Structure 1
Amino acid sequence: MPPEGTSAETGADGHYRALERLYASAPVNEKFRSKLEIVGEGLSRLTFAVTPDVFHAAGAAHGTIYFKMLDDAAFYAANTLATDTFLLTTSFNLHFTKPVKEGEVVAEGKWVSGRRRVMVAESRLVDHEGDEIGRGTGTFMRSRIPLSSLPGYAS
C-alpha cells in the first residue's frame, strides 16, 4: 500500500486516471453531466443521459450536446498520447445521423494519427438502442499549458 498522501497510479494508468479527474473538474460539466472513462491508449468513452432540459424546440437533443460529447471524446482519446501538455481543439467536423429524445448516450473516442504537435481523433455517439446518432473528427494541437499545472489533473 502506498504511503498516505501518495498514489499507486503511475505510468499510463496514472495519466489516464488524471485525465478522468481533469474532465470531472471542468465547470462546464456541471451543466452537461457526463462521465469520462479512458479505456486505453488513444481510446475514451463518455456516458451521459439525454433529458428534456437539453432539448431544442422540436423535442430532441440540441446539437450543442452532440458537439460537446463528440469533441470531448475525441479530445481525451488524443490527450492520452500527450502526457505533458493540454491539447486544444483547432477544428472539428460533425455529422448528425439521428435525433435522440431520451436515454443514455455513449460517445466513443479514438485517436487516428499524429503524436508530435497536431493529433487527429474521431468519435461517434451511440444511443441506448445501439444506433449511431452522430459522428465527428477533430484536430487537436498541443498547447503550452502543462497538464501538471491544472488542478484537476494534479489532484
Structure 2
Amino acid sequence: MSSTPPEPPPTGSGEEAHFRALESLYRAAPINRLFESDIAITGPGQCDIVFDVDERYFHAAGAVHGSSYFKMLDDAAFYAVNSLVTDRFVLTTAFNLLFTKPIKPGRLRASGRWLSGRKRVYVAEATLIDGDGEEAGRGTGTFMRSHIPLAGLPGYKSA
C-alpha cells in the first residue's frame, strides 16, 4: 500500500468510468488512512478489497478485533452494490457477521457480491479470505439508495 494520493479515474463514460470513480471514492475516504487497503471493482455487482493487518488491529487475546472484520466485509459488499447504482451513494442498513476463524497478521481479501435488489433495497454478501486461502469470516448486508448524489462527494470523479 502506498501513501501517494490516488490517481483520478480515467475520462470516459459508462460502467468502467463509474467503477474507477468508486475506487477513487474508496481511496479518498479518511477511514482508509487507518486501514492499509486497496479496492478493485471487478464487474457489475462484484468487488475485491485487499487489506494488510498487523498487531495494531488486535484485541487483548492477540487476534484481529471484530470491528476490522466488519469494516472489511461491509466495504466489499457495499461497493459491490454501489457498482450497480450510478447516481447515488448507498447506505448500509443492516449487516450480519459470521466469524469463522481468528485472523493473524498478513494480507486479507474481502470479496463482495450483489445478490438481489435493483430499485431501492439491495442485498449483498462478502467473504473474508486469509493469507492461507481459508475463509476467516463472511457477512450479508442490506443496503439502500440514499439522497446523496455521488457526483457531489469528494473523491468521486465522474467522467
- SS of match in other structure, 2:52: strand
1:9 aligns with 2:12: yes
1:111 aligns with 2:114: yes
**Cα-to-partner distance string for 1:35-94 (whole Å, 9 max, x where unaligned):** 011000000000011101000001110001100000000000000110000000000000
State the percentage of identical aligned residues. Answer: 58
- Which of 145, 153, 157 is matched with 1:154 structurally? 157
Q: Give the AA of the match of 2:114.
A: W
Structure 1 counterpart of 2:96: 93
- SS of match in other structure, 1:49: strand
Structure 1 counterpart of 2:47: 44
CA distance 1:127–1:7, shift in 2 (3 Å): closer
Compute the displacement of 1:6 (Å): 9.7
**RMSD over aligned Cα atoms:** 1.4
Structure 2 counterpart of 1:137: 140
- Which of 17, 21, 24 is matched with 1:21 structurally? 24
- SS of match in other structure, 2:73: helix
- Which of 56, 63, 66 is matched with 2:66 structurally? 63
Compute the displacement of 1:154 (Å): 2.4
- SS of match in other structure, 2:113: strand
Compute the displacement of 1:8 (Å): 3.1
Q: Structure 2: where are the runs of 5+ without partners?
A: 1-7
Instruction: Indicate conservation of the 8 Å contact 2:39/2:47, yes or no.
Output: yes
Q: Give the AA of the match of 1:19.
A: L
Instruction: Indicate conservation of the 8 Å contact 2:38/2:50, yes or no.
Output: yes
Structure 2 counterpart of 1:102: 105
TM superposition score normalised by structure 1: 0.94
TM superposition score normalised by structure 2: 0.92
